[in-house]
Structure 1
Amino acid sequence: MNKPTIEEILAPKPTLQPRIYAYSIDDQSHRGLLKVGQTTREVKRRVAEQVKTAAIRNYRIELSESALRDDGATISDHELRAALVRKGFENVELEWMRCSVSDVKTALAELHTGQQFTGTHHETFAMRREQAEAVKKTHEYFHSIWNEDMHAVPRFLWNAKMRFGKTFTAYQLAKKLGTKRVLVVTFKPAVEDAWRTDIESHVDFDGWQYLSRSSGSDPRQIDRRKPAVYFGSFQDLLGRDGAGNIKPKNEWLHEVNWDLVVFDEYHFGAWRETAKELFEGEEEMISREEARLDDARHLKERIADLQEPLEKETDFLPITTKAYLYLSGTPFKALATGEFIEEQIFNWTYTDEQRAKETFAAKHPTERNPYGALPQMRLLTYQMPDELLAIASAGEFDEFDLNAFFEASGTGAKARFKHKSDVQKWLDIIRGGYAPKAVELLKTGTRPPFPYSDVRLLPYLQHSFWFLPNVASCHAMANLLSEKHNTFWRQYEVVVAAGASAGIGLEALPPVRKAIGSGFESKTITLSCGKLTTGVTVPQWSSMLMLRNLKSPETYFQAAFRVQSPWSLKNPNGDNPNEEEILKPVCFVFDFAPTRALRQLSEYGIGLSPNESNPENAIRELVSFLPVLAYDGANMTQIDAGGILDIAMAGTSATLLARKWESALLVNVDNATLRRILDNPEAMAAVERIEGWRSLGDNIIETIINKSEKVKALKNKAKGGELTEKQHKQLTEEEKEYKSRRKLVQEKLIKFATRIPAFMYLTDFRENTLQDVITKLEPELFLAVTGLTIQDFHLLVRLGVFNTEQMNQAVFAFRRYEDASLRYTGIESHKGLSHYGLYDTVVAKE
């Protein structure tokens, strides 16, 4: 026997990987058939060899999966075909089976796991890291509450943007909790599809029963030993008959003791809204919210409303459950005013998602990135020429008023813009065809990227969403785009998703889908003033044009995220089912009111990171994943976090700054805070020293608490229809009285807060935090200006009367504005200043 060589001793390990594959042939004789085989070579090459002998070209590889079990044993194609035959599928001849791809996946999943599945449970993917984190945090929180009181009903919020995978993750939580009865209640009935698909396709939920109004099953005839999920909308579940009783068809719901109730597509403050407000369309909801934010008086009332004690879920939906899970797509962390505390919230934001995408790509460059198809968003803002600005400028800074510019009247074919010729100029500008602008650009030798003229942007505008102020402007835009002279715009099919003619909610979607088709050959523009801005996915939309004023960053970004849904092709060449080609790596938002857009972005960035003491850092992280380009009329430049804040603040005046210090958000006057003051004699003495407090009368706090509790009791009676006419009148009067008293308390506390800027202006200490300046350096000045002693102020802060996070933002804005104003006059306010002092933190100046 020959002595082995070193090469033979150190022989390389074989890299064979047994795989199961299935492919189809697109012809009459193979219709509905799949060839199921196995190989240890590359699947693409093995199949190519097989079809080559028969000169077949119209084949497609449908499945390529590992043939290894977890214990290392191999699954053979014979076993797999035998498993399919046992399930009742026909083995037509040799390796050919009459079945679908999901049937093969189900049988393969059974052989992998050793379990028997009902239906087509074939998905075996595990939770992503953030999904597992959400389940763990919620599970631990629920149990911490139950350990203290086993009868308590905890509530938890998942504040996660779309694409988080909330349905799959919610089911995983239900599984971990060991639930048998889950009720999913949605504010948007359009989302049922995802809830059904996940439960019927994933192996983890095999044996689970799914019921809904559309499933047709009788919920009383279910197998009580197996978990059951019932899906329903508020419109349906809240419905009552003429006498105010629960509809007979829903009575069973109230008899079940649910283990978990999930509220899907929840929006903050929903419990306080009337049923009419709750179920109105997006158009009406956006208009109502914007009107509230427009009017300072309404805004104060809205904030005062948010500080009212919350009704219990059972007041709203009389059912019994062990726990509540709320799912919201709202991108803000700080918006859940008073409804949820930090330990009750799991957040997953745009920044989190894009960071995860970047991290995964860096750590696993050769693997498929689970976040890879989620496009990065870019914001491009454009300063309009002076002649257009003159048409519609409003507000203290003469900002371009999009609502006034796109003002229209009439409906359908008769709708017309008030400034039609100017809107036509705007249409010419955005496609680079406006003559005066062209002459200017020739002089400067630059050509800025206008949306419909730049070859780099045009592919992303193949399917765009134009967000307009109202129904009339949507129809007017459609009419203008179709006029004979607008030959450029004729290549786009225009869909009006606005007004009653477009249908309610999701009814507006089919015409859009029909116009887009596959999305490769067609070109479309969808015009909307609110419809389709929440809860829908149109993968082909890649750009949004913001053509209306929006005060709320929440509404702005909720709409903007419509164009951020992924668009990719699975198995693009038909020879690798695990390959994915990303068709939309980035998406765009175009805005024509730059200051307002950047103010929205800065508020959004700060709202995403309420624990970040320096607002600039919060915005810096956001813009690292959401780059901003701004066209100032001559040049297009990229703006950093500091620039965004400066522009956002430049849209800030002394008046607006003062308004920050008059904001009802700075103080808390909810029942819990008022009770803390009432229970603390020192705190009571302190608030009584606030100017004008005594004029509110004796025992004002006690009166508010008592009256609010009395009103709550009367409201509960009213729900049962037990109130007399006299009691109804009493309820209205009592409610009016305690709300007005709460407002008076709020105003007195705000009056104290407005003294702080005066104190800041008088003090010369800038390096320190404001709290330090107050407490250590100039306590006498503080007492003289505000009327409160240091001890008083400290105590009230500790009791939560003042909102420190809001105060920090107000201080930051004041410091930055003050320095900017002084620099403008040539004065360096504090030479060598390296830090700003905020309310209770210090942040670096740069």
Structure 2
Amino acid sequence: MSKPTIEDILAPKPTARPRIYAYAIADAAHHGQLKVGQTTRDVKRRVAEQLKTAAIQNFTIALDEPAERDDGSIFTDHEVRAALVKKGFEKVTLEWVRCTVADVATVLAELRTGQRLGGTHHETFGLRDEQLDAVNKTQDYYRSIWAEDANAVPRFLWNAKMRFGKTFTTYQLAKRLQTKRVLVLTFKPAVEDAWASDLENHVDFDGWQYLSRSTGGDPTQIDRAKPVVYFGSFQDLLGRDAAGNIKPRNEWLHAVNWDLVVFDEYHFGAWRDTAKELFEGEDDAVAKKEAKLEYAGELDGINEDLTVLSIAETDFLPITTRAYLYLSGTPFKALATGEFIEEQIFNWTYTDEQRAKAAFAATHPDKRNPYGALPQMRLLTYQMPDELLAIASGGEFDEFDLNAFFEAKGTGDVAEFKHKSDVQKWLDIIRGGYAAQSAELLKTGTRPPFPYSDVRLLPYLQHSFWYLPNVAACQAMANLLAERHNTFWLGYQVIMAAGAAAGIGLEPLPPVRRAIGSGFDTKTITLSCGKLTTGVTVAQWSA
């Protein structure tokens, strides 16, 4: 098999900027209506082409706006019309909606700012094949266990990477099982938005009730005839007070006989290590604050039994349920220790996803690909010069160590790399400007596509995220990129998302979004040693 080229690896990068438009036709048939559409071309020309065949001239273009959110991501005309319908405006035919220009402008503002839209359930998408397989396999396993012992409490693991659609698929499983009471537990309360939106927006769950601490309401006063999902964190729901008693506000939780309990992103005892490692490059005080925010408060108040998965959840969970479902993209400890047998596991990887994407495109070329929005992961590897490998191999264990290569001292404006000249060579290499390497490539007659020099790669690196070992290295990199001789790098705005000054949690995100803007006319490099690596989506970093 021949070696793939850059053209084979990279999908074409669109250059057009989509726009949302709305126009009106001055006749009785279209009175009070607007045609809401989208195009990547000139709006006036596009509308004129649409109406030319019908010889319509009494039209007015009422709105012409970019289809971009504040974070630079794109929304579609389908989303605009769906938002209008949710507000109660009538969708007359296809792209025609009975509304005013102000109504469309309001929806655009909401989509741009990320303001959550209330309203009716409107999503109608179905399960993908692998999601249906997960539901079927889980249901079949539960039934097989219940057939042997009606009082048994089966456990099942979905070992699925991000983008699998775990929340929607879990709800479909709950619906298939005809559950009335579903409890979702997680260590990361930040994932609540997905659980809420899938339940509240999809037509399959019309009539279901969603409750959490953030939504308010009294869980004891719910409509018992309708299914209910309660979302909460381990820390809040299962934590104890100073005397070791269940918190009074959560006593109702332990009185309910749940039909299904879901552990979301529960990594089977590895969460403490994850919390520590995720921010190990930050200063100790900042790292502690980050970990507390990432996993919510009261970590130390949880039963120590939670650090090791027990065969019987009743040993550490004072609740009753018919079945347990575990969701995790990295259940390494559970798999290594044999906590689940093959019949109890559904697996779905990035490779499976991309294989399904290619297969669907090949077999259904004229249909919308349900995997189309799931981009491929591309890894480009480069051979470092021996002189730089020698520096990177000078660490504690005498092996390749980026911590040793990017070792830095000092803080703020005086932070500097220990091997500054070698890091400078690395910067020169990734833009194809390292003289010694260039001479060697001339001899061999080959030149690899360096990230910041190859015209095929540059559009994909307009906005990038650089992960460095610690705060000092981030500060040293920012200082080096800003030196006057680095004229190429001066064209990028460098954002420091590291250290106490950057803030904790999501506080470093707004400066990144402001610097990127729409993403079309700016160039940025974000430096981090842990911040913004989980629970954050910046579309331009993967665009």
Q: TM-score range by the shorter chain?
A: 0.7 to 0.9
Change (3 A) 1:344 1:338: same
Q: Which of 95, 98, 104 is residue 96 of structure 1 equivalent to?
A: 98
Q: Which residue of 2 aligns with 1:838?
A: none
* Residue type of the alignment partner of 2:99: M
The alignment partner of 2:353 has SS state of helix
Change (3 A) 1:355 1:383: same
The alignment partner of 1:146 has SS state of helix
Q: Which runs of 5+ in 1 are unaligned?
A: 1-21, 27-32, 38-42, 65-83, 105-117, 289-304, 543-583, 585-846
Provide the C-alpha distance between the structure 2 equivalents of 1:477 and 1:512, rounded to a whole number of angstroms: 17
Change (3 A) 1:419 1:348: same
Provide the C-alpha distance between the structure 2 equivalents of 1:485 and 1:130, rounded to a whole number of angstroms: 53
Deviations 1:542-569 (A, max 9, x none): 3xxxxxxxxxxxxxxxxxxxxxxxxxxx
1:56 aligns with 2:68: no
Change (3 A) 1:88 1:269: closer
Q: Is the Cα–Cα contact under 8 Å of residues 268 and 307 in structure 2 kept in the other structure?
A: no
Q: Which of 11, 22, 25 is residue 24 of structure 1 equivalent to?
A: 22
Provide the C-alpha distance between the structure 1 equivalents of 2:164 and 2:442, rounded to a whole number of angstroms: 47
The alignment partner of 2:377 has SS state of strand
The alignment partner of 2:346 has SS state of strand
The alignment partner of 2:343 has SS state of helix
* Residue type of the alignment partner of 1:463: H
Q: Is the Cα–Cα contact under 8 Å of residues 425 and 434 in structure 1 kept in the other structure?
A: yes
Provide the C-alpha distance between the structure 1 equivalents of 2:88 and 2:509, rounded to a whole number of angstroms: 39
1:283 aligns with 2:285: no
The alignment partner of 1:541 has SS state of helix
Report the alpha carbon displacement of residue 55 of structure 1 after superposing the two structures with TM. Answer: 4.3
Q: Which residue of 2 aligns with 1:264?
A: 264
How do 1:578-597 and structure 2 match up within 5 A? 584=543
How do 1:518-537 and structure 2 match up within 5 A? 518-537=518-537
Q: Which residue of 1 aligns with 2:115?
A: none
Change (3 A) 1:261 1:445: same
Report the alpha carbon displacement of residue 311 of structure 1 after superposing the two structures with TM. Answer: 5.8
The alignment partner of 1:171 has SS state of helix
Change (3 A) 1:58 1:444: farther
Provide the C-alpha distance between the structure 2 equivalents of 1:336 and 1:509, rounded to a whole number of angstroms: 36
Q: Which residue of 2 aligns with 1:707?
A: none
Report the alpha carbon displacement of residue 200 of structure 1 after superposing the two structures with TM. Answer: 1.1
Q: Which residue of 2 aligns with 1:482?
A: 482
**TM-score for the superposition, normalised by structure 2:** 0.74
Q: Is the Cα–Cα contact under 8 Å of residues 23 and 35 in structure 2 kept in the other structure?
A: no
Change (3 A) 1:180 1:306: closer
Report the alpha carbon displacement of residue 390 of structure 1 after superposing the two structures with TM. Answer: 2.3
* Residue type of the alignment partner of 2:57: T
Deviations 1:203-238 (A, max 9, x none): 000011111222122222211111111112223223
Change (3 A) 1:91 1:338: closer
Report the alpha carbon displacement of residue 358 of structure 1 after superposing the two structures with TM. Answer: 1.0
Instruction: Please say which structure displays the higher CA radius of gyration.
Output: 1
1:181 aligns with 2:181: yes
Deviations 1:649-675 (A, max 9, x none): xxxxxxxxxxxxxxxxxxxxxxxxxxx
Q: Which residue of 1 aligns with 2:150?
A: 150
Change (3 A) 1:63 1:441: closer
How do 1:55-94 and structure 2 match up within 5 A? 55-57=59-61, 62-63=77-78
Provide the C-alpha distance between the structure 2 equivalents of 1:338 and 1:463, rounded to a whole number of angstroms: 42
Change (3 A) 1:333 1:538: farther
Report the alpha carbon displacement of residue 511 of structure 1 after superposing the two structures with TM. Answer: 3.0
Q: Which residue of 2 aligns with 1:822?
A: none
The alignment partner of 2:454 has SS state of coil
* Residue type of the alignment partner of 1:282: L
Q: Which runs of 5+ in 2 are unaligned?
A: 1-19, 25-31, 37-46, 65-75, 80-84, 108-117, 285-304
Change (3 A) 1:208 1:412: farther
Provide the C-alpha distance between the structure 2 equivalents of 1:225 and 1:309, rounded to a whole number of angstroms: 34
Q: Which residue of 1 aligns with 2:221?
A: 221
Change (3 A) 1:238 1:166: same
* Residue type of the alignment partner of 1:96: R
Provide the C-alpha distance between the structure 1 equivalents of 2:168 and 2:334, rounded to a whole number of angstroms: 26
Report the alpha carbon displacement of residue 88 of structure 1 after superposing the two structures with TM. Answer: 6.7
**TM-score for the superposition, normalised by structure 1:** 0.49
Q: Which residue of 1 aligns with 2:12?
A: none
Report the alpha carbon displacement of residue 45 of structure 1 after superposing the two structures with TM. Answer: 7.3
Deviations 1:138-173 (A, max 9, x none): 111111111222222111111111111111101101
Provide the C-alpha distance between the structure 2 equivalents of 1:121 and 1:100, rounded to a whole number of angstroms: 20
Report the alpha carbon displacement of residue 518 of structure 1 after superposing the two structures with TM. Answer: 2.3
The alignment partner of 1:381 has SS state of coil
More helix by share: 1
Deviations 1:424-454 (A, max 9, x none): 1111111122232233333434322111111
Provide the C-alpha distance between the structure 2 equivalents of 1:233 and 1:306, rounded to a whole number of angstroms: 13
Q: Is the Cα–Cα contact under 8 Å of residues 157 and 327 in structure 2 kept in the other structure?
A: yes
Q: Is the Cα–Cα contact under 8 Å of residues 188 and 233 in structure 1 kept in the other structure?
A: yes
Provide the C-alpha distance between the structure 2 equivalents of 1:503 and 1:55, rounded to a whole number of angstroms: 51
Q: Is the Cα–Cα contact under 8 Å of residues 181 and 259 in structure 1 kept in the other structure?
A: yes
The alignment partner of 2:232 has SS state of strand
Report the alpha carbon displacement of residue 269 of structure 1 after superposing the two structures with TM. Answer: 3.0
The alignment partner of 2:541 has SS state of coil
Provide the C-alpha distance between the structure 2 equivalents of 1:242 and 1:400, rounded to a whole number of angstroms: 48
Q: Which residue of 1 aligns with 2:16?
A: none
Report the alpha carbon displacement of residue 404 of structure 1 after superposing the two structures with TM. Answer: 0.6
Report the alpha carbon displacement of residue 360 of structure 1 after superposing the two structures with TM. Answer: 0.5
| Count of aligned pairs | 458
Report the alpha carbon displacement of residue 48 of structure 1 after superposing the two structures with TM. Answer: 6.6
Q: Is the Cα–Cα contact under 8 Å of residues 261 and 323 in structure 2 kept in the other structure?
A: yes
The alignment partner of 1:380 has SS state of coil
Change (3 A) 1:399 1:263: same
1:448 aligns with 2:448: yes
Report the alpha carbon displacement of residue 411 of structure 1 after superposing the two structures with TM. Answer: 3.6
Report the alpha carbon displacement of residue 334 of structure 1 after superposing the two structures with TM. Answer: 8.3
Q: Is the Cα–Cα contact under 8 Å of residues 502 and 508 in structure 1 kept in the other structure?
A: yes
Report the alpha carbon displacement of residue 253 of structure 1 after superposing the two structures with TM. Answer: 1.7
The alignment partner of 1:172 has SS state of helix
The alignment partner of 1:452 has SS state of coil
Q: Is the Cα–Cα contact under 8 Å of residues 91 and 97 in structure 1 kept in the other structure?
A: no
* Residue type of the alignment partner of 2:34: K
Report the alpha carbon displacement of residue 24 of structure 1 after superposing the two structures with TM. Answer: 3.3
Q: Which residue of 1 aligns with 2:343?
A: 343
How do 1:370-769 and structure 2 match up within 5 A? 370-394=370-394, 399-542=399-542, 584=543
Report the alpha carbon displacement of residue 193 of structure 1 after superposing the two structures with TM. Answer: 1.4
Change (3 A) 1:48 1:417: farther
Change (3 A) 1:396 1:62: closer
Q: CA RMSD in A?
A: 4.0
Report the alpha carbon displacement of residue 285 of structure 1 after superposing the two structures with TM. Answer: 10
